[in-house]
Amino acid sequence: MLRVAVVGSGPSGVYTAQSLVQRDPEVLVDVLDRLPCPYGLVRYGVAPDHEKIKSLQHSLRTVLEHERVRFLGGVRIGADGLSVARLRELYHAVVYCVGAASDRRLGVPGEELAGSWSATDFVSWYSAHPDAVAAGDGFVRDVRTAVVVGVGNVAVDVTRMLARGAAELSPTDMPQAALGALSASGVTEIQMVGRRGPSQARFTTKELRELGGLPDTEVIVDEAELASDPAYGDPSALPAAQRRNVEVLRGWAAAPTRGARRRIRLRFFLRPVELLPVEGRVGAVRLERTAPDGRGGVTGTGRYEDVEAQLVLRSVGYRGVPVEGLPFDADSGTVPHAAGRVLRGGEVAPGEYVAGWIKRGPTGVIGSNRPCAKETATSVLEDAPVLARRRLPDDPLDSLRAMGAEPVQWAGWLAIERAEAALGASLGRGVVKLPDWAALRAAAGSADGSRTAHASVDPSHPADRPS
């Protein structure tokens, strides 16, 4: 048998596990995650109102319930956890599918002001990530106008969540505190700002179009602002995805305003140069008007506009985080690899692999992880005859326990699911996510046959670290 550890239980990790066990009956896979909950960004990134995408969890689940796949949550690899070298000793092969856990910076003065957040912070909060900043209702309290920087799908997600009302949010699994805050919010205007032109926006048309269907909300596009994009006037030569985006924007630009309660303004050719304070918090964003440079980029024009904003969400892309003990290319935020095989000093490191965003950068939709995972699984299986010669300890789970970790197994996760259903029922809602480590630990620890939850959820947590 070939024993493989997959680190990370998001789509790339689960698709890697699936590809391995489907293609080779001699493979056993442990899917490790630092959280006690599986599914990565499908659980903690996909917006709560995107139930259809969220339902992907059902197909990921069947993989994690496969007889040769085992979920081991609450195991951190790297700094403050099990070292990469030790993990390598426990398995014939280790595939890192750790995603891109951080966010890119704007690099402008005022970025650190209160009220300026990365979109990742905001998403983690409404997704009940246990490491989310404890902002309470601080994201939206006293906010009338918000600026979202960036025109990718995450920018569309956070814009939509700001514009949604209680009736649409309460059927979701959003944590109760975020539901209360967003339902009560007085945000009436959201400006989503792109530094380049409409034909260069990164959002996908389906997501863009959804903004036009939000209750009590209208989308406003100023044709004059978009017109300096040559492809705006005649989008026919654009690739289909961009052409459709431009067509949707043109439709909105041509529509009369309706005077709806909330407005989403889609702005282009504006780049943030500074966040301006009012009474110690962000009060406005200074934007510089840009112009196309004819090579796909833009140049500044020296003309500025200040847009009022009590909330700024910086949605300018994710960034990979190094795993201690693994090579890392800081420029791309990825691990150097050849067809998924980790390269150390340019040479293949036997038995170490990557898949997903840590391999190719934070781009693409969930389905993009399938071919990416398949390529890596192919490399693992090609190398298997040599890798499988190494003798291993009997069961890595015993070794993990001997080292003080107490992984949350599938029964623990199922107990968390039951606790979330019970919480929702007690609130008169559907499933409602548990929002913090303590609740997750308690729920996981209540699983039949599981050991007590102490030290079981996150060995990196000070209270849980074995002494």
Does residue 198 belong to the site contacting ligand NAP (CB under 6 A)?
Answer: no
Does residue 160 belong to the site contacting ligand NAP (CB under 6 A)?
Answer: no
CA 314, CA 123: separation in Å to the nearest integer?
11
Closest of 192, 161, 193 to residue 178, by C-alpha: 161
Residue 178 DSSP SS3: helix
Tell me whether residue 26 or residue 293 sits nearer to ligand NAP (CB atom): 293
* CB-count burial class (<10 Å; 0-12, 13-18, 19+) for 321: middle
Tell me whether residue 127 or residue 153 sits nearer to ligand NAP (CB atom): 153
- In the complex, what is the shortest distance from the CB of residue 443 to ligand NAP, in angstroms, rounded to a whole number? 28
Locate 284 and state its tokens: 């406005």
Does residue 362 belong to the site contacting ligand NAP (CB under 6 A)?
Answer: yes
Residue that has been written with the tokens 């993989």 in this structure: 63
- In the complex, what is the shortest distance from the CB of residue 119 to ligand NAP, in angstroms, rounded to a whole number? 7
Residue that has been written with the tokens 């957040």 in this structure: 117
Does residue 267 belong to the site contacting ligand NAP (CB under 6 A)?
Answer: no
Order of strands, edge to edge, in the sheet holding 298-308?
Answer: 270-278, 281-292, 298-308
407 and 73 Cβ atoms separated by less than 8 Å? yes
Binding mask 307-326 for ligand NAP (x = CB under 6 A): --------xxxx--------
CA 190, CA 193: separation in Å to the nearest integer?
10
CA 340, CA 384: separation in Å to the nearest integer?
14
Give the residue closest to ligand NAP by C-beta: 152
Q: Which residue in the set 153, 217, 369, 456 belongs to the binding site for ligand NAP (CB under 6 A)?
A: 153
- In the complex, what is the shortest distance from the CB of residue 211 to ligand NAP, in angstroms, rounded to a whole number? 12
For residue 394, give Cα distances in angstroms to 1, 32, 90, 92, 399. 11, 18, 9, 12, 9
Applying CB under 6 A, the span of 4-12, 202-210, 336-344, 375-383 interacting with ligand NAP comes to: 202-210
Does residue 154 belong to the site contacting ligand NAP (CB under 6 A)?
Answer: yes
Q: Which residue in the set 8, 78, 130, 150 belongs to the binding site for ligand NAP (CB under 6 A)?
A: 150
Tell me whether residue 242 or residue 409 sits nearer to ligand NAP (CB atom): 242
Binding mask 379-398 for ligand NAP (x = CB under 6 A): --------------------
Q: What count of other Cβ atoms lies within 10 Å of the Cβ of residue 431?
A: 15
Does residue 229 belong to the site contacting ligand NAP (CB under 6 A)?
Answer: no
Applying CB under 6 A, the span of 128-136, 176-184, 196-204, 331-339 interacting with ligand NAP comes to: 196-204
Tell me whether residue 204 or residue 228 sits nearer to ligand NAP (CB atom): 204
CA 466, CA 462: separation in Å to the nearest integer?
9
Which residues face 39 on adjacent strands? none
Rule CB under 6 A: which residues touch ligand NAP?
104, 106, 149-155, 157, 194-196, 200, 202, 204, 207, 271, 315-318, 362-365
